[in-house]
C-alpha cells in the first residue's frame, strides 16, 4: 500500500511539473509559461503565438513585478526586441502584436526564446516555444 501511494505521488508530481510548460497548442496557437529569473523570483509570465497563412499574432505578459511599477520593461522574442511596455501599479505589463495591423511580429518556431528584461537589461522572466 505504501509503494502505491509513493508511486501515485511521484506520478502526480511529474504531471504537475511538466504540464504547465506548454498549456495549449493547435488552432489557437501555442502558449508557454515564462519562468522567473533570479533577480525577480516572484515574477510569472506567459506568451502566446498564433500563425495563420497571412497573419502572425503574439502576446507576452509578465506579472508580480510590483517593484517595477511605473517603469518600462522590454520584450524580446526569437532574439529580437518586440517592444516595451510600462508596468502598471499592480505589477503587470504586456504587449500584443499583430502583423495584420502592420506591427512587427517575429517568426516563432520550436525553440524560439522569449525574454522580458528591465530597461537596464536585468532578466525578469524567460521561456521558449
Spatial distance between the Cα atoms of 60 and 92, rounded to a whole number of angstroms: 11
Spatial distance between the Cα atoms of 78 and 85, rounded to a whole number of angstroms: 18
Q: Is residue 8 included in any domain, yes or no?
A: no
DSSP 3-state assignment of 4? helix
- pLDDT per position as a tens digit, 27-64: 568 999 999 999 999 999 999 999 888 889 999 999 99
- pLDDT per position as a tens digit, 56-92: 999 999 999 999 999 999 999 999 999 999 999 999 9
Q: What is the pLDDT of residue 6?
A: 53
Spatial distance between the Cα atoms of 95 and 67, rounded to a whole number of angstroms: 19
- Cα-to-chain-centroid distance, residue 75: 10
Q: Which of 42-46, 103-107, 114-118 has the lowest mean pLDDT?
A: 103-107
Q: What CATH number corresponds to the domain at position 60?
A: 2.60.40.200
Q: Is residue 15 included in any domain, yes or no?
A: no
Q: Is residue 106 included in any domain, yes or no?
A: yes
The model's confidence at residue 25, banded by pLDDT at 50, 70 and 90, is very low
Q: Which helix (H) or strand (E) holds 73?
A: strand 72-77
> Do the strands 22-24 and 55-63 form a parallel or antiparallel pair, or are they unpaired?
unpaired
Residue 126 has pLDDT above 70, yes or no: yes
Amino acid at each position: 500500500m505504501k509503494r502505491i501511494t509513493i508511486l501515485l505521488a511521484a506520478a502526480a508530481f511529474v504531471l504537475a511539473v511538466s504540464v504547465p510548460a506548454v498549456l495549449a497548442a493547435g488552432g489557437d496557437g501555442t502558449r508557454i509559461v515564462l519562468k522567473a529569473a533570479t533577480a525577480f523570483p516572484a515574477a510569472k509570465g506567459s506568451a502566446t503565438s498564433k500563425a495563420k497563412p497571412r497573419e502572425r499574432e503574439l502576446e507576452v505578459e509578465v506579472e508580480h513585478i510590483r517593484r517595477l511599477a511605473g517603469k518600462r520593461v522590454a520584450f524580446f522574442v526569437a532574439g529580437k526586441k518586440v517592444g516595451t511596455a510600462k508596468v502598471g501599479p499592480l505589477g503587470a505589463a504586456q504587449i500584443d502584436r499583430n502583423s495584420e495591423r502592420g506591427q512587427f511580429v517575429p517568426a516563432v518556431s520550436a525553440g524560439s526564446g522569449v525574454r522580458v528584461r528591465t530597461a537596464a537589461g536585468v532578466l525578469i522572466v524567460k521561456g521558449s516555444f
